[in-house]
Amino acid sequence: MVILAAALCGSACGGVGPVSVGAQPTGTDVPLVTLAKGALSAIAERRLIAVRNQLEWQELWRAHQGGGQSGAPLPPVDFEKDMVLAMFAGEKGMAGHAIEIRKLEAAPGELRVFYAETRPPPGAMVAQMVTQPYHIARSQRFDGPVTFTPLTQP
């Protein structure tokens, strides 16, 4: 199901564009640094977010950590030159699901975030547990729209 990122994260995300249906990268590569990635987040709903300031970053990290003080410390980000891209796949009923930012591209007037979601193959033996896959990364700052696009399988 195609979901609009702006509807998922509200106006606080500023400049986040829609999720496009399956495309292949064609623009200029943009470097990406993973800040956190895993299967357990306190954010249980699907969210695709571009964060461009410290306050939004603190709020997102606090929500991801469950609001508690015992979680991992907030990774530092210099918002003068960088931004955060965060993807939360939503709650899944078994282990083996993942979401990953695979590629960033600068295209005329937009930043494209290409991502992949994986699930366990049919019949796979996986733990029956609730997971919330996520990927949070830092990239160079881009003030225009950000479009999240699932990668098509070749």
d(CA 85, CA 72): 18
pLDDT at 81 over 60: yes
Three-class DSSP category at 57 = helix
pTM reported for the whole predicted model: 0.80
Average pLDDT value for the chain = 84
Per-residue pLDDT band for 11 (boundaries 50, 70, 90) equals very low
Tokens of 108: 């005329």
Domain limits of the chain? 5-150
Tell me: the pLDDT tens digits for 105-152? 998 899 999 999 999 999 999 999 999 999 999 999 999 999 999 997
pLDDT value, residue 142 = 94
